[in-house]
């Protein structure tokens, strides 16, 4: 069992970023009009782009981090729980529905989880040429990239929740709305909804262009882990629906499902 701390995670950040960008290139190289689309047991789609990105990430991790276990959406049958110590949590293509529909808001998500808590996260949106990344306790960044060319990193931080009576932004899903999330937003006066696809919502929270992202419906851990690390590294917080801590890698009996979560740009808002 290997434990990766923040210092060791910082040494992994650049090779992991390059790997995620390479996976994004593979996704963009797939012809969406002619690609094969299959259905999983849960009814969600999987495409050749999902599998290509997963293969690239698996091969890359085998080269420079082979001693760290991996939990990937596309290889759950290879998972070996319980996950003690550190492990990679991966969604090779988050927002497959967005991708299939021809939209640009889909992401490659990679998290490094230590002792059940996301420590490092990278959320890359290849079609937007943007990625958000961070290490908890060491800050977060937004990075532009084009192809394999990765630009300079720009430090980012979440913002304070606007004062009472001023508008604030709730990031909402285009494909996965649910009544409880809508009611949660409705109960907060002056909230304006901004529809955003995939884990890009976490990036918008981390950079301070949105304030809150509630999801009161079941979500897989690989959809959340990387974004949770980025938001936390940027000064925010991601909790369960009651404000408690989220833990990862422990729900193998239920298929690694998170029943509900809220991403808060301002941690103090979680106490209101």
The string of pLDDT tens digits covering residues 190-216 is 889 999 999 999 999 999 999 999 999
pLDDT band at 40; cut points 50, 70, 90: low
The string of pLDDT tens digits covering residues 81-119 is 778 899 999 999 999 889 989 999 999 999 999 999 999
Pairwise pLDDT comparison (200 vs 164), residue with the higher score:
200
Q: What is the CATH number of domain 6-156?
A: 3.30.540.10
Residue 107's nearest CA partner among 131, 89, 87, 140 is 131
pLDDT band at 253; cut points 50, 70, 90: confident
- Global pTM value: 0.95
| Domain at 168-271, CATH class | alpha beta
Q: Is the pLDDT of residue 41 over 70?
A: no
Minimum mean pLDDT among 32-36, 82-86, 140-144: which range?
Answer: 32-36
pLDDT of residue 22: 98
Separation in Å, CA 97 to CA 32, 136, 220:
12, 30, 15
> What is the C-alpha R_g of the chain?
17
Task: Report d(CA 35, CA 37) in Å as an integer.
Answer: 6
Residue ranges per domain, the chain?
A: 6-156, 168-271
């Amino acid at each position: 069992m290997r434990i990766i701390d923040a210092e060791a995670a910082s040494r992994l950040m650049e090779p992991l970023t390059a790997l995620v960008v390479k996976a994004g290139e593979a996704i963009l190289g797939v012809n969406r009009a002619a690609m094969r689309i299959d259905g999983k047991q849960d009814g969600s789609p999987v495409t050749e782009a999902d599998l290509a990105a997963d293969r690239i990430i698996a091969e890359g991790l085998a080269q420079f981090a082979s001693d760290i276990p991996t939990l990937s959406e596309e290889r759950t049958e290879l998972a070996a729980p319980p996950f003690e110590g550190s492990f990679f949590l991966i969604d090779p293509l988050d927002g497959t529905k967005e991708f299939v529909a021809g939209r640009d808001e889909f992401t490659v998500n990679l998290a490094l989880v230590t002792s059940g808590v996301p420590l490092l996260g990278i959320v890359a949106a290849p079609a937007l040429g943007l990625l958000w990344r961070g290490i908890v306790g060491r800050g977060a960044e937004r990075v532009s990239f084009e192809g394999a060319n990765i630009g300079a990193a720009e430090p980012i931080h979440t913002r304070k929740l606007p004062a009472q009576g001023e508008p604030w932004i709730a990031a909402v899903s285009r494909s996965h709305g649910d009544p409880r999330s809508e009611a949660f937003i409705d109960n907060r006066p002056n909230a304006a909804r901004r529809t955003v696809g995939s884990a890009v919502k976490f990036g918008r929270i981390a950079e301070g262009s949105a304030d809150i992202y509630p999801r009161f419906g079941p979500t897989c851990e690989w959809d959340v882990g990387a974004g949770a690390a980025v938001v936390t590294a940027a000064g925010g917080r991601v909790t369960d629906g009651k404000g408690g801590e989220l833990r990862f890698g422990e729900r193998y009996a239920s298929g690694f499902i998170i029943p509900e979560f809220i991403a808060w740009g301002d941690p103090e808002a979680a106490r209101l």
